[in-house]
A and B are shown apart, each in its own frame.
Chain A
């Protein structure tokens, strides 16, 4: 199968598959030489291709250009659903990180770029679970920071504060949509999963209006580092080299989107994304042992760190909205939960007389994603999908009570802790058995549970802790970031308050994004076997 090793991390068998082949036509750039007829192609030990002319008395060898497919080609093409790892590996790889760091001039030079590393909490959890003894995420973060410093990184952050801002903006956007209540406003669908966004853009354009415009934590981290912190450090965006560590290969695609490219400074909010697995590889290549303690001399971080957002290990988007609705409700609300299948949980908030006022769902994996698309399309009365359905009987809309208000959609089964870029489960010498009756299939799920436990820092405690109230100081930092980035005329007091138009314009630029339908240029292969 066309899966890369990393993508087949588990036997859950519910990942989005890459298409059979990249259909991007390769442009022929080799000029034909008149008269040169009989040639052969030779490949040297370094993998370069040479065209060797045999006819002339002096055999000439000409190096051939390698065809390159850029990330932008992938993003613009609807040939595959997600692109293959091999395409991403050159531009966004740990080798690229090392190469940039080694060619970085001394900090006194004007072309010096400040290397910054931001790591996701799911990546920290994956690293923690891979260690022989339970290790708190803080300890893992300290060790990663020590390793990163040895490579030349000046700042190391985790992305939970960026997620905090993403969640605040997410709630604000949900409130806006609910107030508008027009077609395409509700249900709101989570926007943090690039696999889902990419899939929707390529195959389900009718879903795009429903996907939240709020940037993902990775991209808000990009804004924080390049805009907010950059300004504090006196650095332009292009004077910072920002690397993120993510549980997911598709985050590489997300970082490469044109929406996150700064035209003015020709730089991206996130310059390079590496997966947890690639960070692990990098540490092993450099002989760094994550098991060993490091001297923790981490200077006080300018950002709040390792914040816990209770609810789900995929960002707690639904829980945050549930909490917001409960807290702003004039009557006490009851929460009921229904989990009909693995990776699907429906949560409903009801008034004391039993009337549901909010229906949300957590929905992970490709299969459940299909059902979300069908259900949303149905309840919103939009025509789902491609292809002619001319004779399809028009269906009446379902009652309002039936439809979701919000869905936390993630493309990976098990959510982000089980992302395709996470570490593989440690295997014994014989490897895993695949006998369904034995616990072979379950072994990888057991591993995902270990990562989940590490994520919540609760080895031994099975369930995530109850929702903590956000501290006031956190509130203050968040609103200060908003104020300093959006520069409202009147000082911002709350995250979700409406500022003046120019400040709101800046809010959209810094905290929101957009999506576009990618039209297929290829109408199948017409294969009829």
Chain B
């Protein structure tokens, strides 16, 4: 299938070590570090160096002492702090001992749990830092979304408990510049939340359209679009049509099973289209069929407020993790490495992919 597509994906690293399925992968936004988490309750960190094709090496493993699976991980924007969401219903906040020095070199200090956030009643499914790093969101099978404020000395204060979904909440994602939070649920909807400065966090928009569980969310780097991946085998693109209003403007098809993860990356190696619309970056999706799809999106020329973006499948690879489900796919956000993608799967493996012109 991939033969006619203009770009190709090649695996540049296959990182083993987890003893159970790997659930989530996260690139440190500042340092050359890649983190993965697993049902084996550990977080594994890998370092990398070399341009344009880096080599990866195992850095350290954090045996989190979470009582159950570590389902999701998220780096703070500063790259100093790692949050873990676990099926044991807690959120762990991890920092490296003696890691105060400014240089980008990875210090060898031990990672320790600086704070443990409790309150969720059942399995935590996802955790996310706001763009400023001052807010943290978590969600759970208990149907709630919590907003936490980061306080000095690694303390956290709960600012809101949002009980809007009628089912398990799968994922939370912050807008890349504004304090808008999105959540995706087993109830097939996406909810958007805002803080009312005089009051509480509240849900201001419910996005309906998916016909099954919404598993994953990804904001476009510019913040005007939101992508959602679903069990209905589609990715929907939602566009901001007014300050507090989003509409579904297109539906991307190309998977045969549940799409578990979607990531929206900036890319420097933009493929120039004939019309030359404003680039919106590349969208990667992966899931139960083991396929990785890469879409290029751009603003249509003469676009109106609710006109859909132009999209084109530019790369595709089958059986990314053999027969295994791919649970998470993430673009590297760091300059110079934005053509790298990391995936993790039920095979417990993490893979790093490089996208190049075919």
- Nearest residue (CB) in B for A384 is B118
Q: Are A13 and B163 in contact (CB under 8 A)?
A: yes
Q: Are A389 and B161 in contact (CB under 8 A)?
A: no
Q: Is A387 part of the binding interface, using a Cβ–Cβ cutoff of 8 Å?
A: yes
Q: How far is the CA of A378 from the CA of B116 in the complex (A)?
A: 12
Interface membership of chain A positions 492-529, coded 1 if the CB is closer than 8 angstroms to chain B and 0 otherwise? 00000000000000000000000000000000110111
Task: Kindly identify which residue among B118, B123, B155, B166 contacts A385, using a CB–CB cutoff of 8 Å.
Answer: B118
Q: Is B159 part of the binding interface, using a Cβ–Cβ cutoff of 8 Å?
A: yes
Q: Are A1 and B143 in contact (CB under 8 A)?
A: yes
Binds B, one of A146-154, A251-259, A263-271, A364-372: A364-372
- Nearest residue (CB) in B for A368 is B158
Q: Are A387 and B200 in contact (CB under 8 A)?
A: no
Q: Is B285 part of the binding interface, using a Cβ–Cβ cutoff of 8 Å?
A: no
- Nearest residue (CB) in A for B168 is A529
Q: Is B222 part of the binding interface, using a Cβ–Cβ cutoff of 8 Å?
A: no
Query: By DSSP majority rule, is chain B's interface helix, strand, loop, or mixed?
Result: loop
Q: Given A17-B143, A385-B118, A436-B204, check contact A367 B166 (CB 8 Å).
A: no
- Nearest residue (CB) in B for A396 is B153
Min Cβ gap B151→A in Å is 10
Interface membership of chain B positions 139-173, coded 1 if the CB is closer than 8 angstroms to chain A and 0 otherwise? 00111100000000001111111111010100000
Q: Is B112 part of the binding interface, using a Cβ–Cβ cutoff of 8 Å?
A: yes
* CB contact list, B50-86 vs A, under 8 A: 64-69
Q: Is A475 part of the binding interface, using a Cβ–Cβ cutoff of 8 Å?
A: no
Q: Is A307 part of the binding interface, using a Cβ–Cβ cutoff of 8 Å?
A: no
Q: Report, as a range, how many residues of chain B touch the other chain.
A: 35 or more
Q: Is B90 part of the binding interface, using a Cβ–Cβ cutoff of 8 Å?
A: yes
Q: Are B65 and A14 in contact (CB under 8 A)?
A: no
Q: Are A367 and B118 in contact (CB under 8 A)?
A: no
Q: Are A14 and B200 in contact (CB under 8 A)?
A: yes
Q: Is B202 part of the binding interface, using a Cβ–Cβ cutoff of 8 Å?
A: yes
Which residues on the B side are within 8 Å of A392 (C-beta)? 113, 115-116
Q: Is B292 part of the binding interface, using a Cβ–Cβ cutoff of 8 Å?
A: no
Q: Given A13-B200, A436-B204, check contact A374 B157 (CB 8 Å).
A: yes
- Nearest residue (CB) in A for B194 is A436
Q: Are B112 and A391 in contact (CB under 8 A)?
A: yes
Task: Kindly identify which residue among B65, B199, B200, B202 contacts A390, using a CB–CB cutoff of 8 Å.
Answer: B65
Which residues on the B side are within 8 Å of A366 (C-beta)? 161
Which residues on the B side are within 8 Å of A17 (C-beta)? 121, 142-144, 163
Q: Are A528 and B69 in contact (CB under 8 A)?
A: yes
Q: Are A387 and B122 in contact (CB under 8 A)?
A: no
Q: How far is the CA of A436 from the CA of B243 in the complex (A)?
A: 13
Q: Are A387 and B88 in contact (CB under 8 A)?
A: yes
Min Cβ gap A293→B in Å is 39
Q: Is A282 part of the binding interface, using a Cβ–Cβ cutoff of 8 Å?
A: no
Q: How far is the CA of A436 from the CA of B192 in the complex (A)?
A: 12
Q: Is A6 part of the binding interface, using a Cβ–Cβ cutoff of 8 Å?
A: no
Q: Are B143 and A387 in contact (CB under 8 A)?
A: no
Interface membership of chain A positions 379-390, coded 1 if the CB is closer than 8 angstroms to chain B and 0 otherwise? 000001111111
Q: Given A366-B161, A367-B158, check contact A391 B113 (CB 8 Å).
A: yes
Q: Are B163 and A1 in contact (CB under 8 A)?
A: yes
Q: Is A490 part of the binding interface, using a Cβ–Cβ cutoff of 8 Å?
A: no
Min Cβ gap A96→B in Å is 30
* CB contact list, A300-352 vs B, under 8 A: 341-342
Which residues on the A side are within 8 Å of B202 (C-beta)? 13, 436, 441
* CB contact list, B20-39 vs A, under 8 A: 39
Q: Are B65 and A388 in contact (CB under 8 A)?
A: yes
- Nearest residue (CB) in A for B165 is A1
Q: Is B189 part of the binding interface, using a Cβ–Cβ cutoff of 8 Å?
A: no
- Nearest residue (CB) in B for A524 is B122
Which residues on the B side are within 8 Å of A229 (C-beta)? none
- Nearest residue (CB) in B for A14 is B161
Q: Are A342 and B65 in contact (CB under 8 A)?
A: no
Q: Are A370 and B158 in contact (CB under 8 A)?
A: yes
Q: Are A391 and B65 in contact (CB under 8 A)?
A: yes
Q: How far is the CA of A148 from the CA of B121 in the complex (A)?
A: 41
Q: How far is the CA of A143 from the CA of B141 in the complex (A)?
A: 47
Q: How far is the CA of A484 from the CA of B73 in the complex (A)?
A: 62
- Nearest residue (CB) in B for A413 is B200
- Nearest residue (CB) in B for A393 is B112
Which residues on the B side are within 8 Å of A371 (C-beta)? 157-158
Min Cβ gap B92→A in Å is 8
Task: Please name the 8 residue pairs, one residue from A and one from B, whose CB atoms are nearest each other, closest first.
Answer: A385-B118, A390-B65, A370-B158, A391-B113, A436-B204, A389-B116, A392-B113, A391-B65
Task: Provide a sorted-by-A list of 9 A–B residue pairs whose CB atoms are within 8 angstroms.
Answer: A13-B163, A15-B163, A374-B156, A388-B65, A388-B88, A391-B113, A393-B112, A524-B123, A529-B186
